[in-house]
Amino acid sequence: MCGIFACHCHPDVQKFKPTALKLAKAIRHRGPDWSGNVISHNTILCHERLSIVGVESGAQPLTNADDTIILAVNGEIYNHRQIRKHLKEPYHFKTQSDCEVIIPLYMEHDIDAPNSLDGMFSFVLYDKKQDRTIAARDPIGVTTLYQGWSWKEPGAVYFASELKCLSPVCDKIIAFPPGHVYDSKTGETTRYFKPTWWDPANVPSTPVDYKTLRTSLEKAVRKRLMAEVPYGVLLSGGLDSSLVASIAQREMLRLKKKAEESTGTATPAEADVDHGEGLVGVDDDDNLSTVTYLPQLNSFSIGLPGSPDNEAALKVAKFLGTKHHVMTFTIEDGLNALSDVIYHLETYDVTTIRASTPMFLLSRKIKAMGIKMVLSGEGSDEIFGGYLYFHAAPDKKAFHEETVRRIKNLHLADCLRANKSTSAWGLEARVPFLDKKFIETAMSIDPQDKMITKDRMEKYILRKAFDTSDEPGTAPYLPDSILWRQKEQFSDGVGYGWIDALKDNAELHVTDEMMKNPKAEWGTDIPDTKEAYWYRLMFDEHFPPRCASTVERWTPTWSKQTDPSGRAISTHNAKYEGTE
């Protein structure tokens, strides 16, 4: 995952350049491999690069042949080869970077260019001839992007991958909306992403097709194996990450067999981490690009000693045959990291911080082992109504409306967590469940099929799609004990003592008197628990009050609970009675 910072129409861009470079440096953790910047007219684009594809030639900002179009991108374009192949006009590519295709797309389609992209991305493009800046963000907001303005430079507009770049220079900051494109020519931000499921009032009625659902997710995972560097899978032992790991492992075994057949040699001996050897070209028609051949897929899990997730992850890894790495952390490790976590996350949402802390710690270990990219399972619960509070959905219309709402807010919650917890250490997370084609498939299913009943647990149709028990000759994707394991929120699964410790420590830092007298600058956004109050205080240490407008606090619908943990849901208590 890379980092971008840009300012369009600055009154004195040369004088501003040292400040711009300093602001860009604040997100160098996102792109430790190289830094670049370009100034043209009164616009500056800065880029901090993490090289995953086009490693040798993809330094940014990218430019066209005559340097009149300048581009800075954070993300991965999975269909870049197909785009190169189907351009209307010949274009001379300077690099092998997957992101460079955005330039000829803009030249052919103007601000409609993002419609052609399949991937996760945020970009800022400057057109020198028109003195025009275009900015866009991927459909769901897997990558982060912020936009800001300053009263000191009323004509200027700023963009950055993280809030910390803009807070020193902007007095108004927003989270750039996913699926939108900004055009400086008009000053307008418009929505380009218009899927069938966007209007929650349009409740689908198509029955589930299990084969189509399975095939769609498999394609989503395969295209995200596009890489020229070592990669792995995050494996919590829950359904979502386990399915992603299973599909990735099947693909790795297929590539391994293909490589052995083509060379007639056995695979290399195991190392502590398998970094891969050579590159395997995959057919473009299968929506894939270059894939690094890994002798064995690496998987990673984290938890407190004896945590449910680590135990389940080990079971999955053994079943799949991945090279598994277990990390345990102590409660003290987590508490010591909290301030850093909030600095990198740029939020004070309780659920996000709880779950991000172990992910933050794990990401550091993974990067230290030489891995630069991981697959993760975010998004499934929003699409299929997997959170336990969905048990209380009154009818299929309400169920569907809530899934739509959750997907639209992912960029402020789980996407933000996955992106920033990993990017803090120069690691990239890819999320197959948020593939736009997969979402289209899954959100076109009659929500009645997704609803939780006494005979159907949460995410039943996803589990059923990968249940091969009635398919003779088809190897199982997962053990039944994992395929049908009940949902645990990540912050619970790493060990129940983690949340208890957070609450206990909040009691030490926040008094009853403080709760009665919140800060005036918080306005109506008042923390309702001591834990939430504590996180808000730490957020305020890093960011001015105006940054709070970019934060949304996660709360379950159809529930009166003040604690967002899945453990607080009565369904969880009934299922796990006596285990806490």
CA–CA gap between residue 200 and residue 18 (Å, rounded): 47
Cβ contact 173:147 at 8 Å: yes
Per the residue annotation, which of 2, 46, 165, 170 is the catalytic one?
Answer: 2
Residues in the chain: 580
Predicted local distance difference test score (pLDDT) of residue 33: 93
Cβ contact 467:438 at 8 Å: no
Residue 560, CB-side half-sphere exposure with 13 Å CA sphere = 0
CATH of 210-469+478-575, one of 3.50.30.30, 3.40.50.10490, 3.40.50.720, 3.40.50.620: 3.40.50.620
Q: Distances from the Cα of 462 to the Cαs of 202, 211, 251, 414, 434, in angstroms?
A: 22, 10, 19, 19, 14
Closest among 205, 200, 199 to 446, alpha carbons compared: 205
What is the DSSP code (8-state) at residue 366?
A: H
- The partner residues of 233 in beta bridges, in order of sequence, read 299, 375
**Burial (Cβ within 10 Å: 0-12, 13-18, ≥19) of residue 444:** middle
pLDDT digits (tens, 9 = 90+) for 438-476: 999 999 999 999 999 989 999 999 999 999 999 999 999
216 annotated to bind ligand? no
2 is catalytic: yes
Phi and psi torsions of 304, nearest 5°: -70, 160
3-class SS shares of the chain: helix, strand, coil, % to 5: 45, 15, 40
CA–CA gap between residue 413 and residue 418 (Å, rounded): 9
Task: At 94, list the tokens.
Answer: 């300077």
Q: Distances from the Cα of 46 to the Cαs of 1, 72, 77, 100, 101, in angstroms?
A: 15, 7, 20, 16, 19
Residues of the chain with CATH 3.40.50.620: 210-469+478-575
302 annotated to bind ligand? yes
Angle between helices 496-509 and 331-345 (to 10 degrees): 70
CA–CA gap between residue 334 and residue 317 (Å, rounded): 25
377 annotated to bind ligand? yes
Cβ contact 10:16 at 8 Å: yes
Closest among 387, 31, 110, 59 to 240, alpha carbons compared: 387
Which residue is listed with tokens 């970094």?
A: 275
CA–CA gap between residue 515 and residue 156 (Å, rounded): 40
Closest among 572, 566, 577, 525 to 549, alpha carbons compared: 525
Residue 490, CB-side half-sphere exposure with 13 Å CA sphere = 28
Cβ contact 387:556 at 8 Å: yes
Residue 175, CB-side half-sphere exposure with 13 Å CA sphere = 25
Residues of the chain with CATH 3.60.20.10: 3-191
- The partner residues of 555 in beta bridges, in order of sequence, read none
CATH 2.70.98.20 fits 3-191, yes or no: no
39 annotated to bind ligand? no
The pTM is what?
0.93
Which residue is listed with tokens 């020198």?
A: 128
pLDDT digits (tens, 9 = 90+) for 349-385: 999 999 999 999 999 999 999 999 999 999 999 999 9
Longest Cα–Cα distance of the chain, Å, equals 73
- Taking only the tens of pLDDT, the chain with its 580 residues reads 799 999 999 999 999 999 999 999 999 999 999 999 999 999 999 999 988 887 776 689 999 999 999 999 999 999 999 999 999 999 999 998 999 999 999 999 999 999 999 999 999 999 999 999 999 999 999 999 999 999 999 999 999 999 999 999 999 999 999 999 999 999 999 999 999 999 999 999 999 999 999 999 999 999 999 988 889 999 999 999 999 999 999 998 888 787 777 766 655 444 555 554 433 333 444 444 456 656 789 999 999 998 888 999 999 999 999 999 999 999 999 999 999 999 999 999 999 999 999 999 999 999 999 999 999 999 999 999 999 899 999 999 999 999 999 999 999 999 999 999 999 999 999 999 999 999 999 999 999 999 999 899 999 999 999 999 999 999 999 999 999 987 665 546 676 799 999 999 999 999 999 999 999 999 999 999 999 999 999 999 999 999 999 999 888 888 776 676 655 555 555 544 433 3
3-state secondary structure (DSSP) of residue 142: coil
148 annotated to bind ligand? no
Cβ contact 290:281 at 8 Å: yes
DSSP-derived secondary structure for 302-357: EESTT-HHHHHHHHHHHHHT-EEEEEE--HHHHHHHHHHHHHHHT---HHHHHHHH
Predicted local distance difference test score (pLDDT) of residue 554: 84
| Rounded to 5°, angle at Cα 43 from 41 and 44 | 120
3-state secondary structure (DSSP) of residue 72: strand
**Burial (Cβ within 10 Å: 0-12, 13-18, ≥19) of residue 257:** exposed
CA–CA gap between residue 392 and residue 558 (Å, rounded): 6
List the end-to-end C-alpha distance of the chain, in Å, as a whole number: 37
Q: How many Å is the Cα radius of gyration of the chain?
A: 23
- Helix or strand holding residue 188 (H, E): strand 188-191
CA–CA gap between residue 46 and residue 330 (Å, rounded): 38
